Amino acid sequence: MKINSINNPDQGGYLNRLFTIKAYAALLIGKLLLTFTRLVGRGGTTLPGRIALMINPDFVRVLSRQIKVGSIIVTGTNGKTTTSALLSSILKEAGLTCIHNQAGSNMSWGVASAFVEEAKLNGRIPVDYAIMEVDEGAFPAVTAALQPLGIVVTNIFRDQLDRYGEIDYIQKAISTGLNIQPDKGFQVINADDPSLAALGHASGISRLTFGLDLDLADDNLHNTGRDLKTCPLCRQELAYEKIYYAHLGHYYCPNCNFKHPRADVRLTNYSCNDDNFTILNVTHQKGSIKMTSSLSGRYNLYNILAAATCSLGLGIPENTIASAISKAGPSFGRMERFTYQDKSITMALIKNPVGANEVIRTLLNRREKFSLLVAINDKIADGKDVSWLWDVDFEQLPARKEQISSLTASGLRAWDMAVRFKYAGFEQDMIKISCSTEEALITAIEKTPQAGSLFILPSYTAMLEIRSHLNKMGLGKPYWEA
C-alpha cells in the first residue's frame, strides 16, 4: 500500500514570507558554532541547535517547510538510531536526498542542529525528505514543529526512570505526538507491542503495522525486562501465543477482545548463512521480499521490518529496499565492529533492561572466548537512576565464564557495576574495576587473546567516550560522521 505524499505548498516564495531575519540570524550563528565545535573536536550536534532555538523558537518549523516531500519521525524506546539509519539508506538507494540527524542527538536541539548543518547559507534545504530520530519525551513538541508526513514507532519499554518513570508516561507522550500529526499522513506501528497496538489513530491517518510471524525456541532468558504484563484496555493479565522478547509477541487478553492484530508486513522466516549474514523473508500485502543483512540480534529484525514497512508505504521498490538493507552496517555504537591488532572489538549500547538482555542473548550465541567490558555512566543523557541494572539478566553470563577471558567494570558507576557482577555470580577476583573508560579499554584490549573478541557494553555517554578513545587509536570515524 503506497501512502500519498504531503506536498509542501508554495515552496518557491516560501523564504520571502517566512524565512525571517531571526531565522536567518539563528542559522548563521548556528553555522558558526557548528564550525567551531568541529574544529575543537566536538560533535556540534546539540549546541548549534540549542542556540538557534533560543534565537528563534520556530527555527525548525520554518526550515522544515522547505522539505520537498515531507518529514518522517522515528521514535520509540529502542531501535530509533538503527531504524532511521536504515530508512535513510533505503531512500538514498532510491535516488532521493535526505537530511538525517545521524549522530543520534534526538532532542529538539539535535533536530535543529541537523537543519543548521544541512541548510545552505541562503537558508535553502534542497532535499526530498527529512528523517529524524526523536526522543519519546521530545516527540510531541518535535511533531508539532515538523508536521511530519510519516511517523514510525518502534516499541515502548521502561527507560531512564528518573525522566519517565514507568512506561505509562512514554505511552502517553507517544499518543500525544501521534494525535498532533496532520491529516493525510501515515503511521508505522509495531503490532507485536501491545502498548502500541492499543493506541487509536485519527480517520485521516493511514496506519501500517509490522511484526514477526516466527516460531522461535525459548532460550531461557529470565525475561525480567518484560515491562508490560497487563492488557492496556482492561488491565487484566495478558496471555501469549508467541513471545519474542520482553512483552513483544502475539498476545491476547482472556478478559476482553483485545488481541494481536495481524501485521501488514511480517517477517515469516529467517536464517543465518556461513558468512554470518541473516537471510530474511518478508511478506507484505502485495508480495514478499527476500533480503540479507549483516545486522545481528533479534531486536534488529524489528528495526529492519520497521524501515522496510515505512519504505513500502512510500512506494519504494522491493529490490531497492533489499539492496539497501544488504549494504547497511551497524549504526555507531549499536553492534558496531572494529579490528585492532588482529583483535575484534564490538560495541553494543545498553540503556535499559530489554536492550541489555537482547545484547546478552547475542553474546550467549557465541562459542569462542571473549573479553567483556561494561561501562556505565549516570549523566543526564544516560539517566541518573541506574537501578535498571538489577533487571538485566547478567546471571546468564557466569555459566559461560570459561569463555570470558577478562571482565571489566568501568565508567562513573564502575563500582555499582562490579557489585552487580558479584551478585550475578562472578567471583570477586575475576572482576576488574577502572573508572577511567580509556584505561579500561586499553586493559581490556590487552587481556583479549590474539585473534579474539572484545565486547563493550556501554551506556550512552560512556559509548561516546570509548568511541573517542577508539578514534584516537585510528579506529572508525567521529560519531557525528559515523
Contacts 24+ apart (CB under 8 A), 384-389: 384/162, 385/160, 385/161, 385/162, 386/413, 386/416, 387/161, 388/158, 388/161, 388/352, 388/353, 389/416, 389/417, 389/420
Task: Pick the closest to residue 400 from 417, 425, 378, 436 (CA basis).
Answer: 425
Dig out the grid coordinates for 100 from the structure: 538525517
User: Residue 225 gets which letter from DSSP?
Assistant: T
Gyration radius from the chain CA atoms: 22
Specify the residue for cell string 538514498.
92
Find the DSSP H helices in 189-348: 194-197, 298-313, 318-327
127 near 91, Cβ under 8 Å? no
Q: How far apart are CA 426 and CA 214, in angstroms?
A: 35
Task: Give all strands (DSSP E) within 213-313, no chain letters.
Answer: 239-245, 248-252, 265-272, 278-284, 287-293
Which of 168, 274, 385, 391 is flagged as catalytic? 385
Residue 274 annotated as catalytic: no
Task: Give all strands (DSSP E) within 78-202, no chain letters.
Answer: 98-100, 129-133, 150-153, 186-190
Amino acid letter for position 144: A
Q: How far apart are CA 212 and CA 223, in angstroms?
A: 18
Q: How far apart are CA 265 and CA 431, in angstroms?
A: 45
Q: Which residues are catalytic?
A: 385
